[in-house]
Chains A and B, each alone.
Chain A
Amino acid sequence: MKQILLITIGLSVALWADFSRDDSTQIVTDSTTGLQWQDNAIGNTMPWEDAIAYCKALEIDTHSDWRLPNINELKTIIDRGKVFPAIVDGFTNTSSNYYYWSSSTYEGRKGNAWRVYFYSGRTFSYYKDTSYYVRCVRVGQ
């Protein structure tokens, strides 16, 4: 019984969401999803199609396979236990006062795409020609 309990607790720690930031590459890795996140500068806001092109052209630490995250991926870095910004520990560059684009179109109005407001953790869709912040993602090795 004692052994089982200890093993269980060990597993729990190992599987709990774990974000670590490499300060030289400024990339945050989530060991539970395997996703790697851009975390260099807060950067500029831009319309949705430009955000897709920006991630496609991005190169960090010889990695050139960046893309705009879909809304489910972007939600995995929200921490609603916090505010201003409501983002998991590990990120150092996040704008609290504006939305971030996802690559997912809103099915109810296809000229809209989904966004995350990292001020609070709210998710909401809006017109694709509006300018918001961008955080690109790639699948780690």
Chain B
Amino acid sequence: MTASSTTTLDQTKTKIRLSVGSSVVKKIGQTQSYDESGDKVVPISSLEDDGYYQSGVVAHYTRDDATEIVTDHLTGLEWADDANVSSVTKQWLTTDNYNICRANTSDPACYDTNSTADPADDTATEYCASLALGGYDDWRLPTSVELEGIVEHGNTSPSISTVFENTSSNGYWSSSTYEGFKDFAWFVYFSSGGTDNYYKYYSFYVRCVKVGQ
């Protein structure tokens, strides 16, 4: 066990943080009930939807304006929130690697990981790997579950807490490959708050994440 060194310990720490995070179900932010036609239901008790129950824990974010980092106090994750988050778009794979992947979806080129990625590639993964926001060097692309964990369905365009100052009402890449077609990856659409998958050659916005200290 001890021989398995720092890597194991780091992965374990990450896993603990994420598992604590995944055990917390955040409130949607819906406070009214709406019927099939979209009309407000009065009294609220007559339709026992999410506006009636309002289940979950209230989300808690703070933004450090000096570092431009937002901390999610329920998951322990820290999110980039600099101006580039609402202006820079990146491909998930380079066009060359996408073409290799499309021809053979079991080729390692399908995954923009440490073993296959070229730091010179202009991809979402490399963008996060080289990000130095706040003086930190452990930024990475979030998984689909991490990214949709900051969606706030009580808001639209963008569907995120107002603590975040830089969000485009568009798609943001996650690091998660779609298992059905491995030349697709998952993205979160921050106009509506939905999660979908798309071709890895495409350019979406990028919000990098790190595990807090």
Which residues from chain A sit less than 8 Å from chain B, CB to CB?
Answer: 1-2, 5-6, 8-9, 11-12, 15-17, 32-33, 35, 47-49, 52, 56, 67-68, 70-73, 75-76, 78, 80-84, 86, 102-114, 119-125, 128-129
Contact = CB atoms under 8 A, between A and B. Distances in A.
Q: Which of B13, B19, B50 has the most CB of A within 10 A?
A: B50
Given A5-B9, A8-B12, A73-B25, A105 B49 contact: yes
A121 to B, nearest CB: 7
Contact of B15 (A16, A68, A102, A124): A16
Contacts of A73: 25, 55-56
Interface in B64-109: none
Given A9-B12, A15-B19, A122-B195, A107 B154 contact: yes
Given A80-B178, A105-B30, A75 B148 contact: yes
Contacts of B1: 2, 5-6, 9
B2 to A, nearest CB: 5
Contact of A109 (B12, B20, B38, B197): B38
B194 A124 contact: yes
A114 B178 contact: no
Interface string B7-35: 01100110110011011011110100111
Contacts of A80: 144-145, 176, 178-179, 186
Contact of B156 (A33, A52, A72, A108): A108
Given A70-B55, A107-B30, A107-B153, A17 B192 contact: no
Contacts of A122: 194-197
A67 B197 CA distance: 29
Contacts of B16: 8, 11-12, 15
A12 B15 CA distance: 7
B38 A52 contact: no
A8 B51 CA distance: 39
B37 interface: yes
B25 A120 contact: no
B36 A47 contact: yes
A105 B12 contact: no
A129 B36 contact: yes
B202 interface: no
Contacts of B155: 107
A15 B28 contact: no
A60 B5 CA distance: 48
B194 A123 contact: yes
B157 interface: yes
Interface in B138-197: 144-145, 148, 153-157, 159, 176, 178-180, 186, 191-192, 194-197
A49 B36 contact: yes
A16 B195 CA distance: 23
Contact of A72 (B9, B28, B35, B51): B28
A52 B30 CA distance: 16
A16 B28 CA distance: 23
Q: Which of B12, B176, B197 has the most CB of A within 10 A?
A: B12
A87 B186 CA distance: 16
